Amino acid sequence: MIYTITFNPSIDYIVSVDHFKIGAVNRVSKEYLLPGGKGINVSIVLNNLGIDNVALGFIAGFTGNEIKNRIETDFHVKTDFIDVQNGYSRINFKMKSDEESEVNGNGPTIDREHINQLYNKLNALKAGDILVLSGSIPNCVSNDIYNLIMKELKDKGIKIVVDATGDLLMKVLENKPFLIKPNNHELGEMFHVKLSDKKDIIKYAKKLQELGAENVLISMAGDGALFICQNGKVYFSEAPKGVVKNSVGAGDSMVAGFIAGYVQNDNYLDAFKMGVATGSASAFSENLATKEEVEKLFHSIQEVEYEY
């Protein structure tokens, strides 16, 4: 089974406003609500691709109930959330106008008791399961929580995927995650360098591998993607052609696609191609990628072994 964890899920209230004016009454031309959070996005896309999974995390209050309801009812994803009593799950406001703006909520207070409840759930995972640790951590939780979770599950035969940035990612490397997925900008920030070309990106991606990561997937938006495989080979794929409509969730979709390709075919190249196709399909859509959209792009992906 595949499990995702979202520590701070949200309701994303997304509106479009024509020529927003500060200090004036503005009318919304389009609006919609979606459950948000990187792990939740991974769960939704996995389910869209026909891959059974369970979304874990923390919810609170009426907003938390709405998040759970929408995930289960609208997207048919199984959930096993932990109810938190202190506060409400956050509402993130995203406005599309001449410029895009966001206001993100804080979320509830997660204490030690709630973390212990999460550990109890995670200790039920079995060898061969996949766990996705994805996204940022609220201030009320220790910033080494991903590392602590990996230590808790060490030697249980669970493949762990981490999609995070900065110290949150660097701290897990000692525990040898199965896959990590920074983008090229995040990779440069982790090593405090400016990456100017593919050779630079590969050099520092391999440093992450030397520090413990088994596989490293680097997304580069319109410049394609690189995959540094645990077999020592490096693969590159150009980005498929298409009109970018929405970049939100594209990285999460790439993670979901990679996992889907891997569990379906037990093949790293298929996983890489599926990741590129799925991330691109979400970028080319108003919403997260569907199976049909991914299949249309999959056969256009031409991965090449990259010599450097």
Tens digits of residue pLDDT in 246-299: 777 899 999 999 999 999 988 999 999 999 999 999 999 888 999 999 999 988
Residue 284 domain flag: yes
Per the CB < 8 A criterion, the answer to whether 90 and 109 are in contact is no
Assess whether 2 and 76 both reside in one domain: yes
Interval 69-94 mean pLDDT: 95
Assess whether 208 and 284 both reside in one domain: yes
Assess whether 239 and 275 both reside in one domain: yes
> Where among 165, 198, 219 does a domain terminate?
165
Assess whether 156 and 185 both reside in one domain: no
pLDDT-derived band at 8 (thresholds 50, 70, 90) equals very high
Residue 76 domain flag: yes
Assess whether 80 and 8 both reside in one domain: yes
Which pLDDT value is given to residue 90?
Answer: 95
Report pLDDT digits (tens) over 198-211.
Answer: 899 999 999 999 99
Which pLDDT value is given to residue 211?
Answer: 95
Which pLDDT value is given to residue 207?
Answer: 94
Which pLDDT value is given to residue 242?
Answer: 85
CA dist 10 and 61 (Å) reads 12
Which domain covers residue 138, as residue numbers? 1-16+32-165
Assess whether 141 and 1 both reside in one domain: yes
Q: Which two structure tokens, joined as six digits, stand for 250?
A: 């594209």
> Where among 142, 165, 188 does a domain terminate?
165
Residue 43 domain flag: yes
> Where among 140, 165, 190 does a domain terminate?
165
Which pLDDT value is given to residue 165?
Answer: 87
Assess whether 115 and 158 both reside in one domain: yes
Residue 8 domain flag: yes
Interval 212-230 mean pLDDT: 93
Per the CB < 8 A criterion, the answer to whether 149 and 162 are in contact is no
Assess whether 144 and 247 both reside in one domain: no
Per the CB < 8 A criterion, the answer to whether 258 and 179 are in contact is yes
Assess whether 37 and 118 both reside in one domain: yes
Q: In what order do the strands lie in the sheet with 28-36?
A: 28-36, 10-17, 90-96, 100-103
pLDDT-derived band at 307 (thresholds 50, 70, 90) equals low
Interval 17-44 mean pLDDT: 94
CA dist 238 and 227 (Å) reads 12
Residue 228 has pLDDT above 90, yes or no: yes
Residue 232 has pLDDT above 70, yes or no: yes
Q: Number of C-alpha atoms within 13 angstroms, CB side, residue 69?
A: 9
Domain count, the chain: 2
Assess whether 40 and 125 both reside in one domain: yes
Per the CB < 8 A criterion, the answer to whether 140 and 109 are in contact is yes
> Which whole-number Å values give the CA distances from 231 to 82, 84, 206, in the listed order?
38, 43, 12
Report pLDDT digits (tens) over 35-64.
Answer: 999 999 999 999 999 999 999 999 999 999
Interval 65-86 mean pLDDT: 96
Residue 172 domain flag: no
Residue 173 domain flag: no
What one-character-per-residue DSSP string does the chain give? -EEEEESS-EEEEEEEETT--TTS---EEEEEEEEE-HHHHHHHHHHHTT--EEEEEEE-HHHHHHHHHHHHHHS--EEEEEE--SS--EEEEEEESSSEEEE----PPP-HHHHHHHHHHHTT--TT-EEEEES---TTS-TTHHHHHHHHTTTS--EEEEE--HHHHHTTGGG--SEE--BHHHHHHHHT----SHHHHHHHHHHHHHTT-SEEEEE-GGG-EEEE-TTS-EEEEPPPP------TTHHHHHHHHHHHHHHHH--HHHHHHHHHHHHHHHHTSSSSPPHHHHHHHHTT--EEEPP-
Which pLDDT value is given to residue 241?
Answer: 86
Assess whether 72 and 192 both reside in one domain: no
Residue 27 domain flag: no
Which pLDDT value is given to residue 308?
Answer: 59
Which pLDDT value is given to residue 161?
Answer: 98
Per the CB < 8 A criterion, the answer to whether 147 and 19 are in contact is no
Say which amino acid occupies 75.
F
Q: Which residues are catalytic?
A: 252
Which pLDDT value is given to residue 130?
Answer: 98
Report pLDDT digits (tens) over 146-172.
Answer: 999 999 999 899 999 999 988 899 999
For residue 43, the domain's CATH number is 3.40.1190.20
Which pLDDT value is given to residue 306?
Answer: 67
Assess whether 123 and 2 both reside in one domain: yes
Residue 22 domain flag: no
